[in-house]
Structure 1
Amino acid sequence: MSETELQDELASAAARFDRAMERLEDSVRELGARIQRHQRIEVDTQRLVHERARLATELDKTAARAKRLDDSAHEVSRRLVEAMETVRSVLAKAE
């Protein structure tokens, strides 16, 4: 093999090596970008989980308050009915 052919093969091998290194660098950059996207998704997911837990707690408190209000409304209604019946009874006796 002549020296010129050897230099051509060496240049060709170097060019292939350079292309392979460029592809590797591109792959590493893409992997880094994918990792960053994944990390952002993880952060967003954790934020959503925290927000969901906060909203669930708030909903539980609101539901408990609504039940207490409903129970109070039923008690007030019952007492009003009793009072009305007492007034009717008193009025009926007075006639």
Structure 2
Amino acid sequence: MSETELEEGLTSAAARFDRALARLGTSVRDLNARVQRQQRMEVDTQRLIHERARLATELDKTAARAKRLDDSAHEVSRRLVVAMETVRSVLEKSE
């Protein structure tokens, strides 16, 4: 093998090595970007899970309050009916 062929072989090998390093660098950057996106998604998912839990708790409290209000309204309605019947009874007796 001549010195020129050896130099051409080394130049070719160096060029292939440089291209391989460039591809490796690109792959590493792409992988890093995917890892960062995955980490952001995990953080967002955890934030959404906490928000969902907070909203579920708030909904439960609101539903309990609505039930108490409904029960109170029912009791007020029942007492009004009793009071109206009492007033009607008193009015009938006074006639």
Q: CA deviation at 1:50?
A: 0.3
Output one character per residue of 1:58-85: Cα deviation in whole Å (capped at 9) or x when no partner.
Answer: 0000000000000000000000000000
Match of 1:50 in 2: 50
Q: Structure 2 CA distance, aligned partners of 1:29 and 1:87? A: 85
Structure 2's unaligned 5+ residue stretches are none
**Partner SS state of residue 90, structure 2:** helix
Q: Which amino acid aligns with 2:44?
A: D
Percent identity, please: 82
RMSD: 0.5
Match of 1:20 in 2: 20
Q: Which amino acid aligns with 2:54?
A: R
TM-score of the superposed pair, with normalisation by structure 1 = 0.98
**Partner SS state of residue 65, structure 2:** helix
Q: Which amino acid aligns with 2:27?
A: S
Match of 1:34 in 2: 34
Regions of 4+ moved over 3 Å: none
Structure 1's unaligned 5+ residue stretches are none
Match of 1:4 in 2: 4
Q: Structure 1 CA distance, aligned partners of 2:17 and 2:42? A: 37
Output one character per residue of 1:29-64: Cα deviation in whole Å (capped at 9) or x when no partner.
Answer: 110011011101110110011000000000000000
Match of 1:69 in 2: 69
Q: CA deviation at 1:14?
A: 0.8
TM-score of the superposed pair, with normalisation by structure 2 = 0.98
